[in-house]
Amino acid sequence: MFAQYLPERYQVASAHVVDSTGNFSDQIDAVVFDRQYSPFIFTYENQLIVPAESVYAVFEAKQTADANLVKYAQDKVASVRRLHRTSLPIPHAGGVYPPKQLIPIIGGLLTFESEWKPPLGASFEKVLDGGENDRRLDIGCVASHGHFLFDEEGGYDLVEGSKPATAFLFALISRLQFSGTVPMIDIDAYGDWLTK
Residues serving a catalytic function are: 29, 60, 62
Q: What HEC string does the chain produce? A: CHHHHCCCCEEEEEEEEECCCCCECCCEEEEEEECCCCCCCEEECCEEEEEHHHEEEEEEECCEECHHHHHHHHHHHHHHHCCCCCCCCEEECCEEECCCCCCCCEEEEEECEECCCCCCCHHHHHHHHCCCHHHCCCEEEECCCEEEEEECCCEEEEEECCCHHHHHHHHHHHHHHHHCCCCCCCHHHHHHHHCC
What is the b/e burial string over 106-115, where b = at least 16 CB atoms within 10 angstroms of the residue's CB?
Answer: bbbbbbeebe
Bridge pairing between strands 90-92 and 95-97: antiparallel
